[in-house]
Structure 1
Amino acid sequence: MTARWPSWRTDLAISLVSFAGGLVLYAAGGWRMFFGASLWSGAPHGVLLVPMTVMAGCCLLRRLAPGAAEAIGLVALAADTLLGGSLGTALIFTQVVYDACVYGRPWLWRANLYGWVAASVLAAAGGVVASGSWRGVVLGLVVALVAVLPTVTGISVRQYRDQARVQRLRAEETARLAAWERRQAVADERARMARELHDVVANQLGAIAIHATAVLSAADPSPQLVRQAVTQIRESSVSGLAEMRRMIGLLREDGDTGPADPATRPGLASLPQLVAQARADGLAVELRTGGLDRALPVSVDFAAHRIVRESLANAWKHGAGAAVLRVDVDADRVLIETANALRPDGSTPGSGHGLIGMRERAALLGGTLTAGPEDGHWRLRASLPVRHTQEAAV
Structure 2
Amino acid sequence: MTWTMGHTGSGQRGGLVEGLRRMMSAPALSSRFRTAVWLGMLVYVLIEALSVALSVEESDSKILGEGLAVSLVVLLVSLRVTWGTLVAFVMAMLTIPFWDPNSYPVAMILIAMMVARTVNRSFGILAAIMYLTWSVSSAIYTGLHPVNVAAADILVAVGALIGWALRLQSRRLARIEQDLALQETLGQQAVEVERRRIATELHDVVAHGLTIIAMQSSVLEMAREEEVRTAAQRNIGGAARQSLLDLRRMLFVLHGSDRVYEVDDEDMTASLTTRAQEYTASLQAAGFIVENQVHETPGLARSLRLTLIRILQECTTNILKHAQTPARACFAVHTKDQSINLTVRNQLPTARLRTTLPVSGFGMIGMQERVALFDGTLSYGPEGGDWVVRVSFPQRHV
The TM-score, its normalising length taken from structure 1, stands at: 0.71
Of the three residues 337, 346, 361, the one matched with 2:370 is: 361
Residues 62, 386 of structure 1: CA spacing in aligned structure 2 closer, same or farther, 3 A cutoff?
farther
Residues 170, 282 of structure 1: CA spacing in aligned structure 2 closer, same or farther, 3 A cutoff?
farther
CA RMSD of aligned residues (A): 4.0
Residues 271, 258 of structure 1: CA spacing in aligned structure 2 closer, same or farther, 3 A cutoff?
closer
Shift of 1:173: 3.1
Shift of 1:125: 6.1
Residues 354, 101 of structure 1: CA spacing in aligned structure 2 closer, same or farther, 3 A cutoff?
same
Shift of 1:364: 0.8
Q: Is the 2:330–2:344 Cα contact (8 Å) retained in structure 1?
A: yes
| Letter of the structure 2 residue corresponding to residue 282 of structure 1 | G
370-379 or 9-18, larger mean C-alpha shift: 9-18
Instruction: Report what 2:80 is aligned to.
Output: none
Once the two structures are superposed, the pairs formed by residues 28-67 of structure 1 within 5 Å of their partners are 46-54=57-65, 56-57=67-68, 61=72, 64-66=75-77, 67=84
Rg bigger for which structure?
1
- The CA distance in 1 between the partners of 2:385 and 2:210, in whole Å, is 28
- Structure 2 unaligned blocks of 5 or more: 1-30, 78-83
Once the two structures are superposed, the pairs formed by residues 107-256 of structure 1 within 5 Å of their partners are 112-122=127-137, 139=145, 142-146=148-152, 148-217=153-222, 221=224, 225-253=228-256, 255=257
Shift of 1:114: 1.9
- The CA distance in 2 between the partners of 1:46 and 1:324, in whole Å, is 110
Once the two structures are superposed, the pairs formed by residues 371-386 of structure 1 within 5 Å of their partners are 371-386=380-395
Instruction: Report what 1:322 is aligned to.
Output: 328
Shift of 1:210: 1.0
3-state SS of 1:296 partner: coil
- The CA distance in 2 between the partners of 1:375 and 1:154, in whole Å, is 82
Instruction: Report what 2:22 is aligned to.
Output: none
Q: Is the 2:376–2:394 Cα contact (8 Å) retained in structure 1?
A: yes
Instruction: Report what 2:340 is aligned to.
Output: 334
3-state SS of 1:337 partner: strand
Residues 374, 112 of structure 1: CA spacing in aligned structure 2 closer, same or farther, 3 A cutoff?
closer
Q: Is the 1:15–1:59 Cα contact (8 Å) retained in structure 2?
A: no
Q: Is the 1:285–1:323 Cα contact (8 Å) retained in structure 2?
A: yes
Deviations 1:257-305 (A, max 9, x none): 4767877625515332332233234333211134x26132121111111
Q: Is the 1:55–1:73 Cα contact (8 Å) retained in structure 2?
A: no
Shift of 1:327: 1.8
Matched, 1:279 2:284: yes
| Letter of the structure 2 residue corresponding to residue 380 of structure 1 | V
3-state SS of 2:218 partner: helix
Q: Is the 2:213–2:235 Cα contact (8 Å) retained in structure 1?
A: yes
Q: Is the 2:329–2:344 Cα contact (8 Å) retained in structure 1?
A: yes
- The CA distance in 2 between the partners of 1:260 and 1:52, in whole Å, is 89
Shift of 1:99: 1.1
Instruction: Determine what percentage of the aligned residue pairs are the same residue.
Output: 25
Q: Is the 2:97–2:141 Cα contact (8 Å) retained in structure 1?
A: no
Q: Is the 2:92–2:134 Cα contact (8 Å) retained in structure 1?
A: no
- The CA distance in 2 between the partners of 1:65 and 1:77, in whole Å, is 20
Q: Is the 1:212–1:229 Cα contact (8 Å) retained in structure 2?
A: yes
Equivalent residues, number: 345
Shift of 1:318: 4.1
Q: Is the 1:58–1:73 Cα contact (8 Å) retained in structure 2?
A: no
| Letter of the structure 2 residue corresponding to residue 324 of structure 1 | C
Deviations 1:10-38 (A, max 9, x none): 54345446777x79xx99xxxxxxxxxxx
Shift of 1:201: 0.8
Residues 55, 111 of structure 1: CA spacing in aligned structure 2 closer, same or farther, 3 A cutoff?
farther
Q: Is the 1:338–1:379 Cα contact (8 Å) retained in structure 2?
A: yes
Instruction: Report what 2:42 is aligned to.
Output: 12
Q: Is the 2:212–2:236 Cα contact (8 Å) retained in structure 1?
A: yes
- Structure 1 unaligned blocks of 5 or more: 28-44, 82-88, 128-135
Q: Is the 1:52–1:76 Cα contact (8 Å) retained in structure 2?
A: no
150-159 or 371-380, larger mean C-alpha shift: 150-159
- The CA distance in 2 between the partners of 1:9 and 1:97, in whole Å, is 16
Matched, 1:306 2:310: yes
Q: Is the 2:252–2:259 Cα contact (8 Å) retained in structure 1?
A: no
